[in-house]
C-alpha cells in the first residue's frame, strides 16, 4: 500500500516526460533532429539541479516503445544521438557522482548501444549523488508484460506460489525494481497525458504539466515545479491528518 513519506516535503524521485523537441525545431524551421539535439543538451543542467532541489532520483523518458512508429531517419537519428550522448557524457557523469541506470527493453536496441549502456551503468555503479534513470525503448505496458512473463516463469519453476503474488511481488519484476516510486511526474510541451510512462509506479504520483517545450526547460523552472510540489497534500486515499 502506498505510504505517506514524512521524511521530506520535496519530491525524492522526479520523473520527466521530455516532450516538445520536434515542435521546438519546427518553430525555428529546422529538422526534428535539431530539436532532439537541443533537448539532449538540457539534461545535464537538470541533473545538476537535483541535489539542491533535494531530488535524489531523476528518471527521464527518452524513447518510448511507440516511438518506433516515427520515420526511419528520425529513429536512427535518435539512436545515434543516444550513442553519442553516452560516449560524450560518460566521463562527466562518473566524475559528478551520477549513478546511471537504463530501463526499457534492450532486445530491440543495437548491440553497440546496449554495450555503451551496460558500460555506463557499470562505470557509475559506485556513485550516489544523483540516481539518473534513462528510459529507452520503454513502455509501461511492455514493462508490466515483460515482468509478468518472468513472474510466470518463476511460478512454472516452482519458485513462486500464485497465492503469494500481491502488489509487493510484481514490482520486484519491473525494470525499476531498485527505485522508489516517483513522487512527481513532469511533462513538458503542453500535452496532458502520460503516454505509457511508469504506469504501475506512478499510481500515486503528483503530476505537473508544463507548456514549456523540453529544449527550453531550465533549472530555474525545475526548482519552481519542485517547490510547487511541496505545497501539495498527498492523501493516498486517506483523509487529511
Considering the rule CB under 6 A, would residue 139 count as an interface residue with ligand IPE?
Answer: no
- With contact defined as beta carbons under 8 Å apart, do 9 and 230 qualify? yes
> Closer to ligand IPE at the Cβ: 11 or 139?
139
Distance of CA 28 to the CA centre of its chain: 27
- Beta 206-209 vs 130-138: how paired, if at all? unpaired
DSSP state at residue 214:
G
Q: Specify the 3-state DSSP secondary structure of 68.
A: helix
User: Which one of 21, 67, 166, 181 is the catalytic residue?
Assistant: 67
Given Mg ion, ligand IPE, none, residue 17, with its beta carbon under 5 to 8 Å by kind, binds ligand IPE
Site for ligand IPE, residues 181 to 240, rule: CB under 6 A: 189, 191, 193, 195
For strands 184-187 and 13-17, give the pairing: parallel
Among positions 13-42, residues that touch ligand IPE (CB under 6 A) are: 17-23
Q: Give least dist CB 78 to ligand IPE, A.
A: 6
Taking alpha carbons only, the member of 198, 139, 149 closest to residue 173 is 149
Q: By C-beta, is 18 or 120 nearer to Mg ion?
A: 18
The answer to whether 21 is a known catalytic residue is no
Assess 19 for contact with Mg ion (CB under 5 A).
Answer: yes
Residue pair 25/32 in contact (Cβ under 8 Å)? The answer is yes
Residue 217, contacted partner among Mg ion, ligand IPE, none, CB below 5-8 A by kind: none
Quick one: 214 or 222, whose CB is closer to Mg ion? Answer: 214
* Residues with Cβ within 8 Å of residue 58, at least 6 apart in sequence: 13, 14, 15, 16, 46, 47, 50, 130, 131, 132, 133
Catalytic residues: 19, 67
Q: Which residues bind ligand IPE (CB under 6 A)?
A: 17-23, 61-64, 67, 78, 189, 191, 193, 195
Amino acid at each position: 500500500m502506498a505510504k505517506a513519506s514524512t521524511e521530506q516535503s520535496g519530491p525524492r524521485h522526479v520523473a520527466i516526460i521530455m516532450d516538445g523537441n520536434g515542435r521546438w525545431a519546427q518553430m525555428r524551421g529546422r529538422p526534428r533532429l535539431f530539436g532532439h539535439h537541443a533537448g539532449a543538451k538540457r539534461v545535464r543542467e537538470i541533473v545538476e539541479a537535483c541535489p539542491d532541489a533535494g531530488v535524489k532520483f531523476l528518471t527521464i523518458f527518452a524513447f518510448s516503445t511507440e516511438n518506433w512508429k516515427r520515420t526511419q531517419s528520425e529513429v536512427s537519428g535518435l539512436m545515434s544521438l543516444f550513442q553519442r550522448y553516452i560516449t560524450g557524457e560518460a566521463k562527466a557523469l562518473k566524475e559528478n557522482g551520477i549513478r546511471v541506470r537504463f530501463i526499457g527493453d534492450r532486445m530491440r536496441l543495437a548491440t553497440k548501444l546496449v554495450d555503451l549502456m551496460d558500460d555506463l551503468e557499470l562505470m557509475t555503479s559506485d556513485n550516489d549523488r544523483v540516481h539518473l534513470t534513462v528510459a529507452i525503448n520503454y513502455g509501461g505496458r511492455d514493462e508490466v508484460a515483460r515482468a509478468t512473463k518472468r513472474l510466470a516463469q518463476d511460478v512454472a519453476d516452482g519458485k513462486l506460489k500464485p497465492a503469494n503474488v500481491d502488489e509487493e511481488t510484481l514490482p520486484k519484476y519491473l525494470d525499476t525494481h531498485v527505485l522508489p516510486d516517483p513522487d512527481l511526474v513532469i511533462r513538458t510541451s503542453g500535452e496532458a497525458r502520460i503516454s505509457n510512462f511508469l504506469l504501475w509506479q506512478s499510481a500515486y504520483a503528483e503530476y505537473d504539466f508544463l507548456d514549456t517545450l523540453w529544449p527550453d526547460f531550465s533549472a530555474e523552472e525545475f526548482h519552481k515545479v519542485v517547490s510547487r510540489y511541496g505545497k501539495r497534500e498527498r492523501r493516498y486515499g486517506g483523509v487529511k491528518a
